[in-house]
Amino acid sequence: MQTTNHSALLQFACMKKVLTLACTVFALCCLCPEVAAIHHQEKTSKASSDIWFLQQNHTDLGLVDIYIASDEVKVVSQRSGYELLCKAPSWEVHGFRRSTKLEWISPLRLFDGLLLVNPQAFPNVNKAIFLPRAKGKTLGLNYTHFVQKDLSLSSVDGTADFATAPEVLEFLRRLYRSPNVQSVPLVIRTNHGMQKLPKFRMGSIRMGMGNDLRSGLIVELTTKSWKKIPYKADIFALPLHYKRTMTLPQVTFSPEMKNQFDEIFRDGTGFRGELHGSK
């Protein structure tokens, strides 16, 4: 009798394991197509959507191409040939140059447009408070005209027509060193007041070599054109197997520019040390 009961318990346990395995296989077979379909739907939705392409001109950066997606942004410098890319989920800023295969990477919170020309600059953000004053339309885009709280002549025209992540707006804000207006800047006007030129000895290089010493009201950013273009994943693809560099000007300065400044910066930013070998 005990042998019969033991045998029955073994059979029941085996049947339970078989049923559990069968249910698991059935569930996987049913759910996998749905999961795959959701993933395919997300990829198809993103691939079929449009992105925004802008051409902007900046007094310091020159003509740049801006690609804006829902959670990605890319900048291509027409003058200097470098590229900047910032995207979800990491939101790191990647600066790279295809011709030299060099790449610089930084967290978004440590990115500052001044680093493009001065590797010794301390990352900072423009904390000036700008308030909405008027609305208008330019190049077919709706914009809000923001003015500084202290009634200076500085102002920003920003558009909210581009639906994108806050991190994209933060990247553009840091790139152009503009105040936080929570929109894509189309025009930036900055009143520099009257600047005094610092006194220094010839041949000396100071930490503030990138300081802006211009005076008066300067239109720092203008938007030349914009259009919608189809989304392409390769536009926002990160470079592969590029050599990492610790300073952004290694990427933003072309080899010709580095050669011109080589004698000046050989002891400061490491152009000679990284490109021409140690002394």
* Residues 143-161: tens digit of each pLDDT: 999 999 876 789 999 999 9
Q: Nearest Cα to 112, choosing from 90, 97, 127, 129? A: 127
User: What DSSP designation does 269 have?
Assistant: T
Q: For the chain, which ranges sit under pLDDT 50?
A: 2, 25, 28, 31-44, 200, 202-205, 207-210, 270-279
* Structural domains for the chain: 50-195+211-275 (2.50.20)
pLDDT at residue 120, rounded to an integer: 85
Q: Which stretches does DSSP call E strand in 163-251?
A: 184-191, 217-230, 243-244
How far, in Å, are 137, 156, 241 from residue 140 at the CA level?
A: 6, 17, 41
pLDDT at residue 121, rounded to an integer: 87
pLDDT at residue 204, rounded to an integer: 47
Cβ neighbour number for residue 25 with a 10 Å cutoff: 10
* Residues 109-138: tens digit of each pLDDT: 999 999 998 888 889 999 999 999 999 999
